[in-house]
A and B are shown apart, each in its own frame.
Chain A
Amino acid sequence: MAVRARAPVIGVSGLGKRYGEHTALREITFEVAAGELVAIVGPNGAGKTTLLSILAGVQRASSGMVSGSGSGSAIGWAPQQTALYSKLSVAENLRLFARLERVADPDAAVARMLVQTGLGERADERVERLSGGNRQRVNVALGLIGDPPALALDEPTSALDPGQRERVWQFVGDLARSGTAVLFSTHHLGEVRHYATRAIVLADGELLFDGAPAELIATNGGDGEGGDFETAFVAFLKSRGH
């Protein structure tokens, strides 16, 4: 398992979630440091969205705890389906959430996010007229409007074409480089290999792996840096009985 030198922004300890008889998460423990770009991967029903929802404060955990400066409502959150008011413009959406998050200078925050997302020229355009990629950028920008130390992205590129995905990752990469801890879930395993500094593998609510993507490739039939993450991931899950 990876050991991080920097102070954790998020600390997850013994996190569990049950829906009646079904256990969605079992005793999950990990930490995320500032500037890390952590991919949460796993088959369908592994518990990825549940984990991110609990980190974002949308759901409550059945057991365990989340701590750190980027926990709960302090974490920025971009859900899988864009959560925007389509009748409002890009700037109006950003300004509304800046005010709801009680940002000291909402107009300055809006201007900053418009620059950061590259949507300055489309600030006054209604969200309903934007492309899927641009909506996702606004969706992520809403998660960042309060300048949070950490950001949780639930499958941020699931509905995007390759070009749009590339632009979103460039934006997210810039965030991480500026010190924001980013956790994201994805089914595009190539993105893990290319963009994540660390991967957490979940299956049936259980944390099976926490380390660098290259590490998972190297230990599961790949050949280190240039290896195929998807092949290694499938082999790893098989070896663990999933």
Chain B
Amino acid sequence: MRWLLKKDLLILARSRLLVGVLIVYPIAIALLIGLAISRTPGKPKVAIVDETPPGQTIQVGSERVDVSHYADQLFSQVQPVHVSSRAQAVADIKSGRVLAAVVIPRDIAARISSGVTQGSIEVLYNGNALEQSLVRSQLSSALAQANVGFSEQIQRAAAQAIGVLLTGGNLGVLGAPSNMIGLGQIPTTLHAIIARQPPGSQRTQLERIDRFAEFADQNLGLAKNVLSTIGQPIQVKSTLVQGRRTPLNTFAVVVAVSVSLMFVCVLLAAGGVALEREEHTLARLARGLASREGLLAEKGLLAAACAMVLGLAMLAGIGVFVSLDWGRIWQWLIALAFGAVAFGALGIAIGALAREVRAASLLAFGLSLPLAFLALVPSGAVAHGLYDAIAAISFVFPFKAALQALDAAVNGASPGLGISVVHLLGLTALFGALARLGLQRLE
């Protein structure tokens, strides 16, 4: 095996283009996947037409809520492009300078302050179906967040006004009496007056007012809670049932390294075995110069070793930009080693089936890419039956198991490293046996 290994290293060293492609291509793919997973979609450019006069406020009780706060909330969710008029916004949308426009009308404060009508804003869209879908979704989310923020401010102001009504004081509203008595103070005052009243119709009237004041005090007190319930009817409490909270960027690292590991390993192993067929040397070797098992093991292990070096180099390189726990390096090595060996076994199986290097490479590439994408399909993203089929396919190929092993090694995610390693060992045995079967046919 030593001489075959030396020979393959020599051939690899002389195939500079192949080596270059094997290194550059997976890294490029990995970076693209990593970026796609770790980066949220960019903020859309949205024209903002703010027709409200500067400093305009909405009066709620004694509190004044600045309308510009609403615009600030909205601006934080988009890339705002301030324009002076609706016509300018429409022109910018048509020219493609912005994807959408939001028009905040002049009378928004007056409408909200009236307490009778809702304030409204106008949203203008353009673009193709995909862009529209993206912008609508992001803008709806931005508007919802801005609405929530604004609504909280109004709730606080309303709660303060209710507080004054309950405990007394100055409401600060034009026409309201100063130093008002609070609802909560009325029953005590009335009790003292009623005690001094002789029995009769007046006393009965006062007792009726007293009962109403007590009832109003108790129920207006509840109004504060009701306001917060209306503002946020459902609170979300998150509990992770399985797995570990893996930061998206470190998961992206794991995906990127797993994809590179797979591509290098599968392509190299498949190409190595197929090369023996293409050069017609397989039959010569099989005459007792090298056992088929030894030949396959040599190809698989060489590919695994090369891929492992690349995977480790990638982790080290990415580790400069993303915080990784270097204390777990032994677990990284275990995950990389078992993952690479399983990919190597898949590669030699592909190589044993193909007659030439180009066919093997095409098959390896054609199989690897969908496997990677299938393994990343989250549950719930597709129909139940389809997800089960995807899960079954992912189970019988090494990508998902290698991804889980690496995620466990790098991020401490579940399932644990041990389970993934056992899974990878099983797949190595399966594809190793398939490769041996494929190599039965010599020419």
Partner of A88, one of B10, B283, B290: B10
Asked if B284 and A79 make an inter-chain contact with CB atoms under 8 angstroms apart, the answer reads yes
Residues of B within 8 A of A79 (CB): 280, 283-284
Q: Are B287 and A77 in contact (CB-based, < 8 A)?
A: yes
Take A84-B279, A86-B279 as given contacts and tell me if A58 and B15 are in contact as well, using a CB distance cutoff of 8 Å. Answer: no
- Is B286 interfacial (CB-CB < 8 Å)? yes
Q: How far is the CA of A77 from the CA of B15 in the complex (A)?
A: 28
Q: A83 is contacted by which of B3, B4, B15, B279 (Cβ under 8 Å)?
A: B279
Q: Judging by beta carbons under 8 Å apart, are B289 and A100 in contact?
A: yes
Kindly state the separation between the CA atoms of A59 and B290 in the bound complex, as whole angstroms. Answer: 15
- The docked-state distance in angstroms from the alpha carbon of A86 to that of B357 is 13
Tell me if A88 and B287 are in contact (CB < 8 A): no
Does any Cβ of A come within 8 Å of B442's Cβ? Answer: yes
Decide if B281 is an interface residue (CB 8 Å cutoff). yes
Given contacts A73-B287, A88-B10, contact A96 B3 (CB under 8 A): yes
Shortest Cβ-Cβ A-B pairs, 10 listed: A73-B288, A83-B280, A100-B289, A83-B284, A87-B11, A81-B280, A99-B3, A83-B281, A87-B14, A57-B287
Which A residues touch B289, using CB under 8 A? 73, 97, 100-101
A164 at interface, CB cutoff 8 A: no
A84–B280 Cα gap in the complex (Å)?
7
Q: Does A168 contact B (CB under 8 A)?
A: no
CA A81 – CA B276 in complex, angstroms? 13
Over the window 252-296 of chain B, the binary record of Cβ atoms lying under 8 Å from chain A Cβ atoms (1 yes, 0 no) is 000000000000000000000000000111011111111000000
A residues 209-230 touching B (CB-CB < 8 Å): none
Q: Report 11 cross-chain contacts, Cβ distance below 8 Å, ordered by A residue.
A: A57-B288, A58-B286, A72-B288, A73-B288, A73-B289, A82-B280, A86-B279, A88-B7, A88-B10, A92-B10, A101-B289
Partner-B contacts on A (CB < 8 A): 53, 56-59, 72-73, 77, 79, 81-88, 92, 96-97, 99-101, 126, 142
Task: Let me know if B3 and A100 touch, CB within 8 A.
Answer: yes
Shortest A71–chain B CB gap in Å is: 12
Contacting residues, chain A, for B14 (C-beta < 8 A): 87, 126
Q: Which residues of B have CB within 8 Å of A92?
A: 7, 10
Q: How distant is B289 from chain A, measured CB to nearest CB, in Å?
A: 4
| Chain B residue contacts of A73, Cβ below 8 A | 287-289
A58: contacting residue among B10, B279, B283, CB under 8 A: B283
Q: Which residues of B contact A81 (CB under 8 A)?
A: 280
Q: Once the chains are docked, how many angstroms separate the CA of A57 from the CA of B4?
A: 20
Q: A96 to B287, Cβ gap below 8 A?
A: no
A27 to chain B, nearest CB (A): 25
Find out whether the CB atom of A83 lies under 8 angstroms from the CB atom of B290.
Answer: no
Once the chains are docked, how many angstroms separate the CA of A4 from the CA of B74?
103
